[in-house]
Amino acid sequence: MKRKKSPDRSIKHKDIRMLEAFKRKKFIDAEMAGYIADKIIEIMPNLKEMVGKYDINVKDVIRFQSVSEKCRSEREKRGFAFKQIALSLKVPQYWLKYIESSSVKNINVDILKRYIDYLGLRRWFNLWKKNNLDVYARLSKEK
C-alpha cells in the first residue's frame, strides 16, 4: 500500500530546498523573490491588500534588498553620514534613504548610480544589475 505524503511534509521539503538554494546564491532571482513574497503574504495575509493598495512590487523590493544592505553597510563602514554624502552629491538626503530602505518606487536611478560610485561599489553593483536587469529596467522606467 502506497503511503500518501501529507501536504505539510511536501511544503516543508520545498521550504528546505529553497533555503538551500538561497544559501548558494549571491543574489535573489525572480523565482526566489516570488517564493519569499508568497511566504510573507501567507504569514501576513493583510499585507496583500496593502501591497496592492500602494502598488508595491514586493519581488522587486526583495531583490533590491541586497543593494540597500550593501550601500548601508559600506556607508557605515566608512563612517559616512547621509548629510555628508548628500552635500557631496548635491542631492537631498531622502533620495539616499530611499535607496537604503529599498523604496523601489521612489529610487532615482541617476542618484543611485552616483551613490554607488561614491561608495566605491560599481563593480559589485554591475554584477547585481547583470543578474537583475528586469528590476533595474523597472527602476529606470519609474522616473
With left for phi above 0 and alpha for psi between -120 and 50, is residue 107 left, alpha or beta?
A: beta
In a domain, 123, yes or no: yes
Count how many domains the chain has. Answer: 1
Q: What's this model's pTM, rounded to 2 decimal places?
A: 0.73
- How confident is the model at residue 36, as a pLDDT? 75
pLDDT at 127: 94
Tell me if 2 is assigned to some domain: no
Give the pLDDT of residue 16: 66
Task: Say if 1 falls within a structural domain.
Answer: no
Q: What share of the chain is helix, strand, coil (3-state, %, to 5)?
A: 75, 0, 25
- DSSP E strands, 3-142: none
Position 49 scores a pLDDT of 72
> pLDDT value at position 141?
75
pLDDT at 143: 47
Q: Report the alpha-carbon distance of residue 139 to residue 107 in Å, rounded.
A: 7
Q: What pLDDT was estimated at residue 57? A: 80
Q: Which residues of the chain have pLDDT under 70?
A: 1-26, 43, 50-55, 142-143
Largest pairwise CA distance in the chain: 72
**Is residue 17 assigned to a domain?**
yes
Q: Range of 107's domain? A: 7-142
